[in-house]
Amino acid sequence: MTPQKNSTDNPFLKLMTRYHGDPVAFAREVIGIEPDEWQVELLGAIADPDKRRISVRSGHGVGKSTGVAIAAVWHVLMRVPSKTVVTAPTSSQLFDACFAEMKNVAKRLKPPFNDLLEIKSDRIELKSSPESTFISCRTSRAEQPEALAGVHSQNVLLIADEASGVPNAVFEAASGSMSGHSATTVLTGNPTRNTGFFYDTHTRLREDWHTMHVSCVDSARVSDDFVEDMKKRYGEFSPAYHVRVLGNFPPSEDDTVIPVSLIEHAMANDIKIDEDTPAVWGLDVARQGNDSSVLARRQGPVIHPLTTWRNLDLMQLTGAVKAEYDILPPSKRPVEIIVDSNGFGAGVLDRLRELDLPARGLNVSERSSQKETYLNLRAELWFKAKEWLEGMDVRLPKDDGLYADLAAPRYHFTSSGKMQVEGKEAMKKRGVNSPDRADAVCLCLANQHTTMAFGRSSSGSWNKPIRRSIRGVV
């Protein structure tokens, strides 16, 4: 509904007239938020009838959730009747980030707008017409591609957050809604992969979209200290730094073992597990210097938050692991603790077994079980971890250190055609830390029940026990 010019004697309609075409003024005067420069551009584009398709790629923490939240609340109040549909790949991305910010913005509304909306768990409605004017949340899954489909109204706003992870099938199903004369589509997110519809809007479909790019380096919300810390953590030329900080699509994933898109998805995933699922632990033992000893715990498709220790000798580390084991009731204890038995790990393994813990050793420098494919067991483990993540129904803890570790290693082919994963010393030479966290995760996946535990079948040797180097045990 467009306010009538002769309605300006009514104070409320006068306000409607003022803000109907100006979401920036609405943000400042009705919500009490001063938009960033790039948010001003975004809001202006959404209000522009000539810009129906908007795609924003960005780094972390630049305020994209706030930007689209302002737009959604403005739209539901200033475009009546209207339907605003918000989607994201997972419910945690949708409800914990994007929709949570929309609710926060709605609660900040000043009179006379503060009492016009009803805020529900998955919906914000205009009280006077809840069936025709609302903000609705829908997750986007390939097996249920109708998230953005079938949306019809005089005014439609479609918002896809973390759009890199939204399956193409969702956008294909929504093509009718997105192409309508009344529909405005907004895509936002970290550019995690060089494929898919979101990538296309910034490349081959660019002429049809109003595209925006927001880097952490240029954002007033992001400190210089944060950028420098991320540069040290990930490496300036790593795919992770390009995606998370610069807001660029990964420069190349051709030589990276695990693409950042898989890591992003797994850390955002919100799958649940049966508490009775057997646990498997992986222990990567620090070798020297600043390296950490890391304990990873897996229950089926879920990796729980990691435990790290620094500067512990053999006996101290053994005692720390034993304490983690003993504090659990017998039914919750791991069925297996897989230890990297190379170097210092051999002593830790021996001592854990003396204490009657279910410890097994694995020497990652030894020959792979698929010797024609991988140079050594370490390479096999890393690529099997990638395969595990590609199943998509898995969850990693939200851990920046783990993110950096998983995204860091590169691989190449040897002269004999075998795949070799970059060694820790080579990584340190190019300024990248030893991937201790990721190695621990790889170890807790080296278990014969890895696939059976979450009901996914795989081909090849991943269904079989990975070869282990264990004293006295085959």
Q: What is the pLDDT of residue 455?
A: 31
Q: What is the predicted pLDDT for the residue at 289?
A: 53
DSSP H stretches of helix in 392-456: 400-407, 424-429, 436-444
The candidate with the shortest Cα–Cα distance to 332, out of 296, 272, 278, is 278
Reported as a single tens digit per residue, the pLDDT across 228-237 is: 888 877 777 7
Cα 89 to Cα 85, 266, 268, 272: the distances in Å are: 14, 11, 9, 16
Do residues 395 and 270 touch, judged by C-beta distance below 8 A?
yes
d(CA 91, CA 137): 9
**Cβ atoms 245, 231 nearer than 8 A:** yes
Could you give the CA distance from residue 110 to residue 31 in angstroms, rounded to a whole number?
A: 6
Q: Which two tokens stand for residue 353?
A: 């077994």
Most confident of 166-175, 328-337, 338-347: 328-337
- Domains in the chain and their CATH numbers? 5-224 (3.40.50.300), 260-463 (3.30.420.240)
Please give the structure tokens belonging to residue 201. Answer: 């809007």
Summarize the confidence of residues 249-271 as an average pLDDT: 82
The mean pLDDT value of the chain amounts to 85
Q: Please tell me which of 46-50, 195-199, 444-448 the model is most confident about, judged by mean pLDDT.
A: 46-50
For 387-444, the pLDDT digits (tens) are 899 886 899 999 988 988 898 888 877 656 678 888 878 777 777 778 889 999 999 9
d(CA 89, CA 163): 8
160 in Cβ contact with 186 (< 8 Å): yes
CA distances for 7 relative to 22, 74, 126, 403, angstroms: 18, 20, 21, 56
Rounded to whole angstroms, how far apart are CA atoms 327 and 307? 14
- DSSP characters over 276-342: TSPEEEEEEPP-STT--EEEEEEETTEEPPPEEE-S--HHHHHHHHHHHHHTS-GGGS-SEEEEE-S
DSSP bridge pairs for 336: 280
Put residue 199 in one of left, alpha, beta given phi > 0 → left and psi -120 to 50 → alpha: alpha
Structure tokens at 115: 């009492």
Residue 240 has pLDDT above 80, yes or no: no
pLDDT the model gives residue 454: 31
